[in-house]
Every structure is written in structure tokens, then in C-alpha cells.
Structure 1
């Protein structure tokens, strides 16, 4: 079987200057490199660069996949928008990690499975990148999805975790798990999150507050900000920090994504409930198929009699 690897990086908050682009190009002469992106595919050989170092120095998002089953997404956000203490609630072994790098927090989300027959064309960072802005605005659903996907690997590999991990408690459950955004669905699919496990987890998730982005409410909230704070925010916009200002304001306006006091379930309880739900769903599907088969047999019998 031939090898296949795909690397993609995006610079969101600040484009790379010419010197930085030259530094990156020195790592791969065949890559397509612009001020905001890096993409390359390998069917032989390997990338000489270190994705962690590239994320810490240049880029805000990274997607990697290989046909031996590795899926990896990395995201870099300003620490003023996502604190390491918040991200660490959702870390799981080597599957979901987070660390500080200067003024940023870097997230590393990984899924492993034997999926050599996947359709590589459907994998794209452009479908997932939206979760970065959502995280920066205070929506913690992407982190919860990564945490849930990590423990969901237990369904594919019984040796993925130790038995004592069954009693681990879930992190704070964000609102809106039952109504994911398109980027969140793309992330869940990329990390191979089981649909039944997600449905079980969503049972403890309250609905999103649809009025939170009401233009009139947002305008009133901004009008009430102190004048000196508005001046400071405008200065940051002029200093090419418009994206960070926007995300920070939205995060403050919307409030916490995970309500305090939500009862926490164990990993074992979530996985067991997902297994029960899966079995019940498969039973209903089997019963429907059997009913359809019996109907077709009755129709054939009537046709023979006529």
C-alpha cells in the first residue's frame, strides 16, 4: 500500500511576511505557499518541518491526515481569548493536548484509526477553521467534541485507555451540543466522533440562546461600554488586531458556553448509554428491514395467485 500524507496550515490573524514565507519554503520546495496558507501532499517521502514549531511561530490552524489512519487538527488562539486553564479541562492523554506559546494557547486534537479507504478529497481545513473563531468567542463545543471523540476511540480500540479511566468525569458540558454549527460538525466527523455517543452527550446540554446575537441587544451592550475602553479597543483595531477585538467582544457579550452546576457523567456512563442507544437503533433498523422484506414477499405471493 502506498503512503499518503496531507499537510495544510493557515495564518488567520496575521499574514506571513516575505522573510517568513522564505523560511517556510526552505522546509518544502514543492508546497503551495502564500502569505496565509501552506498546503502539500506526499505520496513518498515526508515533510521536513515540525508542525508544532510552525504553529508556535507562524500559523493559527493546521490539518494533517495520513492514510494509515491519523487525523490531526491544531489551533492557535490568543491567551486573552482562550485561557490554558479552560482548555485543560478538556485534555485527554495524547489525543487532546494544550500548551502556552508566548501570548497564545495551542490546541492539538488527534484521532487514530485504520481508515485506509477514506475519501481524502472530503477532508479540508476550510470546513473546520470556523471552530477557531467560535472558541475565541467563548463557544466551548469544539473542545467538548474533541474530548468526547478521544474517549469514543474506546469503541474502536479496547486498549486505548486503562480501566480506571472509566470513572473520569466529563468536563463542563457546553450549550448547544444538539445543534452543532457546520464547522463543529466537520470537526466531529474529522475526529470520528460516534453519532450515538454525541446524541447521549447532548442530552445534558441546554439549548443555545438564539437571542444572544440579536443586533439590537449587541448594539445596546456596546453602547454601554466605558468610553476609555472603547478608545482602547479602537486603538487595537488600528494596530491590526481587529479579529482579536471582535472575538473578545463576542465572547464577553455571549457569556459562558458551559453553564455552571451541570451534573457530570463518567466516561463509562456515557459509553454505556451510547452502546444501549446504538443497539436500540440497530434493532429498529433490523425490524424495519424485516417488515419491508415480509411486505415484498406478501406482494409476490399475491402476484403468483392472480
Structure 2
């Protein structure tokens, strides 16, 4: 199996300094590097840097995947926007880990394929697909964290020798609102982490409606005007100097909290066990399979009706059909040959239904004798089973 690895980093809150750029360039001679972006693909060898340290010191987002199934997404944001305690309930081994460093919370979403299947290059990802998750988390939307926990449960269900009591005693973390209607980046994250869609559907049953993301501009203006002058001065100074993260997400989160209440999941809501969720997912999966089978049966019946109607119309004027076949063959072209063969197969079925297979065999024999000098046509007839009986 050939090797493939993809590394991408992005700086969002501030660009890298000249010295930091030199530090990063020393890690790779082939990467595309700018003050805000690093991307490289490896078909052999490995990245010489330490992703964890680079995220702690320089970057705000990192994406990695390899064709043997490893996937990783790391996000960094100030603890002032998302405290570590808010992320802690969602952490699960090998799915989501978190730590803090110098006023920042770092989130590490990961997935390790159990079967070692090769990467599907037609569904490759870039960091741009995930970058909005950082702003969503900063605004208090914890759905990405819950998705990571569901990914862990998806994998846990597949493990062998797990005590059933563990499933019963393990409770889900607080359920964020809006799981039934994920944002685009959140759905991409669910796909990236291989969250079982039936498990997600089951989990969403305990999830309320997500607060509207629409912004009432007049209400926002009035709220900003009411902020203390010294706070507004501080925000503007930090934004001008680039010494703090962009204030937009934090301000919007505060405004939404005032207008709509906290977006944080309710700690008082009943928390389901892993066993309950897996049982519910099984029910969803069973119902989904039943509906699919029902839809396929309906499609087959519709196709059969259409087929019967087509043969009925053909039976009304078989002589015209034989004339059409002669006309198509007379064009001496591959496309018309194929159409003629299809029509002949339909006529064979029409004659079989009418109890006159001998008539079809006779006319087919005459046709083959008449056009035996056309090898392309003869080959098509033979391949379709249109031979003398």
C-alpha cells in the first residue's frame, strides 16, 4: 500500500512573525507556507515537526489524515471564549482530548481506523471545511464536542469483550440543542469522525431546537451602545494591536445569551446511558432498513408495471417493430445496432407471452441469415443470446 499523509495548519487570531515563519520553514522544504497557512502532502517520509507544540505556540487549527485511516483535527481558542470545564464532559479516549496552555484551550479530535482501510481519495478534506467550527465553539455551540463523544461511542460499540455493565453505567454528556439540524461544518466533522448516522438520529431526540443564528442588528446596536465605554475602548485597542482574538464571536455569544438565554446544554436534563443510546440507534437502524426495503419494493413494482405497459404497446403492432429493427440495422452503426438488439429482446418476450416463440425464432433466423455479413451485428446478437433455438 502506497503511503499518503496530509498536513495543514492555519493561524487565525494573528499571523506568524518573521522569526516564527523561519522556524516553520525549517520543518519542510516542500510545504506551501505563508504567515497564516501551512500545507504539505507526504507520499513518503514524515513531517519533522511536533503538531502539538506547533498548535500550542503558533497555530489555531490543524488537519491531518493518512491513507491508513488516521484522522485528526485540532482547534485552539482562548479559554475566555470556551473554558476547559465546558469541554471536559465530552472528552473521550481516542476521540477528543483537551488541555490548556498559556490562556488557550486546545481540542484534539481524532479517529483511528480499526480495519486499516485505505483512504478514499475522492472524499478528501481540507481545513477550510472545518475552520468555522472554531467560531461556533467560541459562540457557545457545543455540538462539535458532542459529535466527538458520539464518535467514541460508535467505535466502542464495535469493540469486543466489553462488559455490558459499562454501557449501562456510562452516561452521555450534556446534550446540546440543534443536533437534528447540524451546520455544514458540523456534518463534515460527523463524517470525518465516522459518527454512526443512526446513533446521531437517536441522540438528537433529546436535543432541543438550536437558537436562531439570525442577528437582530438593531438589538445588537443597542446592546453594544450600552456596554461600558472602558470595555469598548479595550476591545478596540486589542483589535487594533492584534493582541487578543477577534472580539466578534465572543460579543455575539454574549449578546445571544442576553437575548435568548444561555446556549449551553442544560445540566438538569436527564442523561441517557450508552446502552440506551445504542439500543435507540438499533431501533432507528432497523426502521431505516425497513423503509429502504419498502422503497425498493415500490420501485421494483413501478418498474415492472412500466415494463408490462411497454410490452403491451409493443404487442399491439409487432410488424411495425420488425420494420423498425430493419431500419436500425440498415444504418450500419454501433448505436442503432444496440437499439435493434434491445428491441429484439423485447420482441422475444412479447412472442413468449403470446405463446408464439416459434414465429420469433423463425424471423430471427431469417434476420441472421440476411445480415450474416455484418460481424459487429452478429457479435451483438450472440452476446444478447439471440441465437437460433
Does residue 257 (structure 1) correspond to residue 263 (structure 2)? The answer is yes
Q: Which SS does the other structure have where 1:213 is aligned?
A: coil
Larger Rg computed on CA atoms: 2
Q: Which SS does the other structure have where 2:108 is aligned?
A: strand
Measure how far apart 1:124 and its partner are: 0.9
Aligned-residue CA RMSD (Å) = 2.1
Q: Distance in 1 between matches of 2:183 and 2:27?
A: 35
Task: After superposition, give the CA deviation of every residue in 1:190-224 in whole Å (9 maximum; x if it has no partner).
Answer: 11122211111111111122276221221222222
Does residue 88 (structure 1) correspond to residue 88 (structure 2)? The answer is yes
Alignment-derived partner of residue 45 in structure 1: 45
Measure how far apart 1:258 and its partner are: 2.7
Measure how far apart 1:2 and its partner are: 0.6
Measure how far apart 1:288 and its partner are: 1.9
Q: Structure 2 length as normaliser, TM-score?
A: 0.73
Which structure 2 segments of 5+ residues have no match?
Answer: 312-349, 355-389
* Structure 2 counterparts to residues 151-162 of structure 1, below 5 A: 151-155=153-157, 157-159=158-160
Which structure 1 segments of 5+ residues have no match?
Answer: none
Q: Distance in 2 between matches of 1:175 and 1:100?
A: 26
Alignment-derived partner of residue 134 in structure 2: 132
Q: Distance in 1 between matches of 2:188 and 2:302?
A: 38
Alignment-derived partner of residue 110 in structure 1: 110
Measure how far apart 1:121 and its partner are: 5.6
Does residue 101 (structure 1) correspond to residue 101 (structure 2)? The answer is yes
Matched pairs, number = 305
Alignment-derived partner of residue 278 in structure 1: 285
Q: Distance in 1 between matches of 2:164 and 2:253?
A: 37
Measure how far apart 1:68 and its partner are: 0.7
Quick one: structure 1 residues 62 and 164, their matched pair in 2 at CA, closer, same or farther if it must change by over 3 Å? farther
Quick one: structure 1 residues 224 and 65, their matched pair in 2 at CA, closer, same or farther if it must change by over 3 Å? same
Q: Which SS does the other structure have where 2:277 is aligned?
A: helix
Q: Distance in 2 between matches of 1:174 and 1:229?
A: 30
Alignment-derived partner of residue 200 in structure 1: 202
* Structure 2 counterparts to residues 1-306 of structure 1, below 5 A: 1-113=1-113, 114-119=116-121, 122-155=124-157, 157-159=158-160, 163-166=164-167, 167-210=169-212, 213-241=215-243, 243-255=245-257, 256-260=262-266, 261-300=268-307, 303=311, 304=350, 305=353
Deviates more, 1:240-249 or 1:272-281: 240-249
Task: After superposition, give the CA deviation of every residue in 1:102-143 in whole Å (9 maximum; x if it has no partner).
Answer: 111110000122341412563111011100011111111111
Q: Distance in 1 between matches of 2:304 and 2:134?
A: 54
> RCO higher in 1 or 2 (8 Å CA, sep ≥ 6)?
1
Quick one: structure 1 residues 234 and 162, their matched pair in 2 at CA, closer, same or farther if it must change by over 3 Å? farther
Moved over 6 A (4+): none
